[in-house]
Amino acid sequence: MSGNFQLPEPLSARRIVVAMSGGVDSSVTAALALKSGAEVIGVTLRLYDHGEAVGRKGACCAGQDIRDAAAVADRLGFAHHVIDHESAFRQSVVEQFADEYLAGRTPIPCVRCNMGPKFTDLFAIARDLGADCLATGHYVRRVEGAQGAEMHRAIDPARDQSYFLFATTRAQLEFLRFPLGGMPKADVRAIASSLGLGVAAKPDSQDICFVPDGDYAGIVTKVRPGAVHEGAIVDLEGRELGRHRGIIHYTVGQRRGLEIGGMAEPLYVVRIDAAKNEVIVGPRAALAVSSARLSGINRLATAEEWGALGPLTAKVRSMAKPAPARLDGDRLVFDTPEYGVSPGQAAVLYADDRVVAGGWIEETASAFQG
């Protein structure tokens, strides 16, 4: 293999399975794995048949991406397998995504995908192939701590994907490698060009891979036809202020697109009541939340470490600023009221740069005294 670059961190393994999506990140991950001297086997999961199941052409994990991954394997000289996962992906990710919206929640399918097809299944495949580890192109760092592997934010804050990986178990983390977590994206592209990889300038994947044009409502209606109904937009006292086109078009904290004019102050979506098919709106102050109940809590710090972690911060949306908080049983308690906390999103707790726990937001306790 030509190309003059340094390994960001040692990858001491004899055989590495690399999860390849056909993009520049996982291609460079494979190149780094090869450079470390290991035998590399690339695996690509075909997640859906583009243009068919969810009505989008040219999205990731489909035709062109599979050809790109195969071309990289061919150029660098390692084996590459494509495994059909369409029905598993559709069931565990796409349908769940639609059902979450219909339940009035705001889902994050990327986490479900990481937990389901990507990790659980790729793990089984990697073990079957006799690999010592599974490497992916995620931007997150795996740090060897005193009590085992730890997950830390990527050094490039704009690229950090730790929020989406909170559900990775400690056992999975032991087997995973993320060689890009310590690198800026520019270096990743430079390595790809130095190796003459066709994907060097391939654009980054945007948004949710099966909804690249942003039309998530279109996916919901395709997956669950006839399930979306118009209904009432009501204020905090239950008075109807207008009509909505279906609760799936709304998310907690949303202000735009409510189409209710003539109000003295701007109104925001405060809650979505799926049972009543209602969108409840109120002033910004009504978005203030003092705590949230979490489900599916995954702790990445041991019980022994927990007491000595120091102050924690929680991120309640992928783009949110981490806010001081603590975990009390299954309740995430904010030091000061937090805004725009939506059921269905993840709450991820950090001690400095380390991910120490995370869970799904189920319900919130209002801090509003209106």
Ligand X SMILES: Nc1ncnc2c1ncn2[C@@H]1O[C@H](COP(=O)(O)OP(=O)(O)OP(=O)(O)O)[C@@H](O)[C@H]1O
Contacting residue, 64, 120, 194, 205, with ligand X by CB under 6 A: 205
- Encoded tokens for 93: 């990710």
Element at 213 (helix H, strand E): none
Spatial separation of the C-alpha atoms in residues 96 and 276, rounded to whole Å:
21
Contacting residue, 105, 138, 189, 354, with ligand X by CB under 6 A: 138
Phi then psi dihedrals of residue 83, to 5 deg: -120, 130
* Subset of residues 273 to 332 that bind ligand X, contact rule: CB under 6 A: none
Spatial separation of the C-alpha atoms in residues 268 and 286, rounded to whole Å:
8
Spatial separation of the C-alpha atoms in residues 310 and 12, rounded to whole Å:
32
CB atoms under 10 Å from CB of 137, counted, come to: 23
Identified catalytic residue from 60, 110, 113, 133: 113
Supply the minimum distance, in Å, between the C-beta of residue 43 and ligand X: 6
113 is a catalytic site residue: yes
Q: Using the rule CB under 6 A, is 19 a contact of ligand X?
A: yes
* Contact map string, positions 207 to 246, toward ligand X, x by CB under 6 A: --x-------------------------------------
Q: Using the rule CB under 6 A, is 47 a contact of ligand X?
A: yes
Supply the minimum distance, in Å, between the C-beta of residue 159 and ligand X: 9
110 is a catalytic site residue: no
**What letters, b where the CB count within 10 A reaches 16 and e where it falls short, cover 110-126?**
bbbbbbbbbbebbbebb
Q: Is 25 labelled as part of a ligand binding site?
A: yes
Which of 67, 326 has the CB closer to ligand X? 67
E strands in the chain: 15-19, 39-46, 79-84, 133-135, 140-145, 148-153, 176-177, 231-234, 240-244, 268-273, 278-282, 289-299, 312-315, 323-328, 331-338, 346-351, 354-366
Phi-psi label, residue 327: left if phi above 0, alpha if psi -120 to 50, beta otherwise: beta
Supply the minimum distance, in Å, between the C-beta of residue 293 and ligand X: 28
Identified catalytic residue from 60, 61, 110, 209: 209
Q: Is 26 labelled as part of a ligand binding site?
A: yes
Cα 221 off chain centre by:
22
Which of 219, 234 has the CB closer to ligand X? 219
Query: Could you tell me which of 32, 24, 25, 26 has the C-alpha nearest to residue 3?
Result: 32
- Please list the alpha-helical segments (H only) found in the chain: 24-35, 63-76, 86-89, 96-102, 109-113, 122-128, 170-175, 185-194, 216-223, 303-306
Q: Is 19 labelled as part of a ligand binding site?
A: yes
Q: Using the rule CB under 6 A, is 21 a contact of ligand X?
A: yes
Which of 119, 339 has the CB closer to ligand X? 119
Q: Is 137 labelled as part of a ligand binding site?
A: yes
Contacting residue, 11, 35, 40, 44, with ligand X by CB under 6 A: 44
Q: Using the rule CB under 6 A, is 24 a contact of ligand X?
A: yes
Supply the minimum distance, in Å, between the C-beta of residue 135 and ligand X: 7
Q: Is 87 labelled as part of a ligand binding site?
A: no
Using alpha carbons only, how large is the chain's radius of gyration in Å?
Answer: 22
Query: Could you tell me which of 226, 238, 252 has the C-alpha nearest to residue 104?
Result: 252
Which of 159, 271 has the CB closer to ligand X? 159
Supply the minimum distance, in Å, between the C-beta of residue 19 and ligand X: 3
Which of 183, 234 has the CB closer to ligand X? 183
* Residue 37 near residue 78, CB atoms below 8 Å: no
Spatial separation of the C-alpha atoms in residues 98 and 222, rounded to whole Å:
9
Contacting residue, 11, 20, 94, 346, with ligand X by CB under 6 A: 20
Q: Is 23 labelled as part of a ligand binding site?
A: yes
* Subset of residues 92 to 121 that bind ligand X, contact rule: CB under 6 A: 118
Residues annotated in the binding site for ATP, as ranges?
19-26, 45, 137
Q: Which residues bind ligand X (CB under 6 A)?
A: 19-21, 23-26, 43-45, 47, 60-61, 118, 136-138, 204-205, 209
Active site residues: 113, 209
Residues annotated in the binding site, as ranges?
19-26, 45, 137
